[in-house]
Structure 1
């Protein structure tokens, strides 16, 4: 029977990902099978999990997914010895309005699956107050059980003693304390961590993190704290319709934000996926019946995308007879132009009239519920789609027919409607699931 834990924290940036990767690799080095998941809409962390464990990791999301879908996804951990779900933001951070099965908080997953929480606490600039924070998180929601804490970035042995003593007085187990260690810092950029596939030394970094954590954390105690877990047969599979039978998927450093569960769902439904690289000046497979451009970092490669005429010509030719859809960065590339952070405008493919700019950064972040006003690949007009939006671009023009009426998690209508022109469609949100 596998055992499960949720790795969470009071806030973002405390060290959840590093601890998750280190624990996963350390236990794998001991011969255990480790399965990871990511709570919430993160495209990047699952690839790090896979690098640490050798097993594919997927997202589970209580705002966008029902319990049946979550049960289906986590059932892949049935043959593992230990299952780790890495949280997002702080333990109880979600949206104000409940979604399909929760608010998107990591605590929803912990309670739903009965997995205890290991908190990563960074006590920088404090001492006994760290225990008050941990105790508050422990007591905030009765259905969420705290297993214990790992201290991160402790300043000195004296600092550690003060924090440990306060946590012990509060009845909270301390599994270990990590001093500051710059060598295992994961590089970041504006949408989060630099992606695993972009880091040639990622294996060595994870190995060093595992060595460091094994030296300072009681791995056996953490393992004993995990809850035995019997996965229940899922009544529902993934509620995802593939956009076509043969899908040409843009895939490179500029187009990499794809939820793993989406690709698995497409394949499970019988679809074939062929990949191509716009950065290598490749066009979509001409035998495909639909082309899908996911998000990523087109703003970092806008000049090259603009110069790659075979890609742009091939995509335009494809769109004359078959549907093309873009999400976020892919949507921007389907547009008329993209202005980079230096204020330089780059001509994009022109399949849509969208103009976006990174010269004045404006963050767009949050869950999205879209009611389609027109069909898009895989979904008919009237379908209700749940997704998530995260980018720093500003819309300069969005002149085409709106694709959907889009609401945020509070129910407010937002301006990022997506676009439809001919056979081309695009959205700023990344699709997670369709409402049943």
Structure 2
């Protein structure tokens, strides 16, 4: 396992290791293990070596930047100059980016070493890691199982020890679901906090970009680098991240009609009891009046409608190059009426109001990340995969998935924390409190 970003940063400062040596370790891991994971689709070895050499010089000169020499990889729906941006689609197989996405540019300016591009669910529409064009991404703990999606390669690369951190995108849970399935950390920032310029959109209203890491401290390190107002991004907002409050109130909601698998229900009940019996301030929250599945289905229709615009030329000229599954989804979306889309938008608005209603009673909502753990590709994908993650997207609220302790024989399981808009640092602070509590 590659060390965390913060551990590497400390090792660089002490002279224990150097960026070029760490890069060599990552490249060796990719060479040896990516064949089984299918996480990396493209590796920019020459560019990474050049960046690492620059970092070695800056460290020697005592001029390190915030992420000096730290290796990261990028989901393949975000532009990296000189590399292809496929978004997991056959129609985009040969399309190279001329410039970096804003977030990639910010990582580079902070000294990060960009290793390459990562596998993903086709067009980022789905959460199971399947890809008929570039191959399914494999779970690092259990071959034949899904790592989750759509940021499948991001989660598999980090959890599989190929790279300490990666960027993913999250439209209805695509960072947090794979983070939960793979036992790592994943953060969906507040809407508008991190620029989406230079990404292949699923939905401009619901899309977010964020990091997947092996530690909470790495999320804390990356967030201020990624967060910035971007005048080139139509949904970017000037958000001032306030310091977290000292005393936080945690809300434990009734999940209503969301059915949890027994392997998630048991740890959720245990966490609820532990929290309720702890020194932390907790309150019970009623089930949402609006069924989460309705919010998910409304979000899917909005995504389908926007994707018909994002991929309009390809939809007209290359429809046969869309997979059968994606083609069926977009065909269905194309047959919806304007009132259908308006009703879906109103459902998302109702979901935002409902979730903000919870946050009038507490500071942090705590709930499972997913209703199930990872499952075999041979099994059909559960319809409710994103029922608990889509809530934060429709409301634009910061949310993270943190790994829960599991036995050696168990697949990972995630706990989700949701905070108020702009309270991203508060969500991270809450995770720090809960990490100590659940670890015993």
TM-score, normalising length from structure 1? 0.23
Larger radius of gyration: 1
TM-score, normalising length from structure 2? 0.23
Of Structure 1 and Structure 2, the greater strand share is in 1
Of Structure 1 and Structure 2, the greater helix share is in 2
- Say which structure, 1 or 2, has more relative contact order (CA 8 Å, 6+ apart): 2
